[in-house]
Amino acid sequence: MNAPDNLRCRVVAERESLTSPWWRFYLVNDGGATIASAELAEVRYEWGEVYMGGSSPGVRIADLEAGRRAEIWRDDGGSEMRTDLWLRVTHQGADIWLLYEFPRLYRQTGTTLEANAMRMQRPPGALGSEGS
């Protein structure tokens, strides 16, 4: 089944406080229809051009209504280059892989960041694999 064109969502990262290194990440449904489900399948960290570590949190959200948001992750912002969140979203019967990238959280001076989705053709490769 082809991915529906009306899927509109983003991830917002909010610093817990001005002095805290911790960030909370929220999936925001900007579309006009409920997102049936979303799973945070992978969180990865880039150091240079190599993924180091990561986790498969398996956080799941069901029935995220239009205009609503749900917390999906909390992170200390310690990655050198980038923090990637891979989501598998089910919307109008289609499974869609989305990638959200957040650069250098530890260097950010603001309190809020946004990332728009990059639609991916496949799920991420094995954790720790270079270039996956």
Write the pLDDT tens digit of every residue in 2-43: 556 778 999 999 999 888 889 999 999 999 999 999 999 988
3: three-class secondary structure by DSSP: coil
Topology of domain 9-120, CATH: Immunoglobulin-like (2.60.40)
pLDDT value of residue 126: 55
pTM, two decimals, is 0.85
72-127 residue pLDDT tens: 999 887 777 888 899 999 988 889 999 999 888 888 888 898 998 888 887 767 54
pLDDT value of residue 2: 52
pLDDT value of residue 131: 41
Torsion of CA 84, 90, 95, 100, to 10 degrees: -20
pLDDT value of residue 130: 40
By DSSP bridging, strand 69-75 and strand 35-47 are: unpaired
Would you say how long the chain is, in residues? 132
pLDDT value of residue 3: 54
Q: From residue 120, give the alpha-carbon distance in Å to each of 21, 26, 38, 41.
A: 29, 20, 15, 13
What would the mean pLDDT of 51-80 be, rounded to a whole number? 86
Beta-carbon contacts of 72 under 8 Å, excluding residues fewer than 6 positions away, are: 11, 25, 26, 27, 38, 40, 59, 61, 85, 87
Domain ranges of the chain: 9-120
| Contact present, 25 and 75 (Cβ < 8 Å) | yes
